[in-house]
Amino acid sequence: MKVMKNAFFTVLATAISFFGIKKIANSTHKIKKIGHRGAAGYCPENTFPSYDRALEMGADFIEIDVQLTKDKKLVVIHDTLVDRTTDHKGKVRDYTFAELRKMDAGSWFSTKFRGAVIPSFEEVLDLYADRVGLLIELKKPSLYPGIEELIAEELRKRDLHLKGNDHIIVQSFEKQSMQKFSEILPEVPVGILINYPPNKIEIKEISKFASYVNPKWTVVNNRVINLIHSNGMKAVSWTVRSKREAEKLKHYPLDGIVADYLDLID
């Protein structure tokens, strides 16, 4: 009798364990893989080879940075200076698009990428928006009055504001810019980038116009993520460049992770 009783409880414990594990597995959500400036760990950032590599690696989104040229053309480059990622020097806004286009944006990374160019925002939309989600960051938008309207116009031209499912997300560190963009094109979700632990009042204010608060990986913890989610917003963390950083973020219920090396977050 005792043997049968022990056997029963063994079977019961096994069943509870199995179904408990299954329940946990089913409750997990997919964390979106977001290629930082494409696949910046493997290719020169914000170039066509970088975006192509990110797609090959299974990116759900690619993150891009947008600025404005001297002749009011939207271009995709991270720094406000061209010094680090091209063979020229100076401010992006002091060059025309034609001048920027002549710059070598690949050799700084590796000679095999010699001749890679700085893309226009229009080219990125036309080549990639139907193939992958786009996380569009406005870099220093206060330097470029009217950039929000120009971005919105290009999205409208292609009906990208009607895609839904957060296929296009616009983000910035500058709250005023994102509030303005959300008024111009309310169909497209906006996000605020933060690199410090936020407080409840700030998150509440942001939630009035934003759909995302995107924290740097160093400030991610349960309090921060719960605060964002409890105010009806999503959280995408940036930027993973090492296995240690990736392992830390995998323990939190994030909605997306931005990474230079997408294979770290598989």
Q: Indicate the residue type of 206.
A: I
Phi, psi of 245 (to 5 degrees): -65, -40
**DSSP H helical segments within the chain, as ranges?**
2-27, 48-56, 97-101, 121-128, 147-157, 175-184, 200-206, 222-230, 243-249
Question: Which among 36, 88, 229, 251 is annotated as catalytic?
Answer: 36
Is 29 known to be catalytic? no
**Active-site position among 78, 161, 229, 251:** 78
Spatial contact of 220 and 250, defined as CB atoms under 8 Å apart: no
Quickly count helices (H) and strands (E) in the chain. 9, 9
Q: Are 171 and 197 in contact (CB under 8 A)?
A: no
Alpha carbons 215 and 194: distance in angstroms, whole number: 5
Active-site residue set: 36, 78
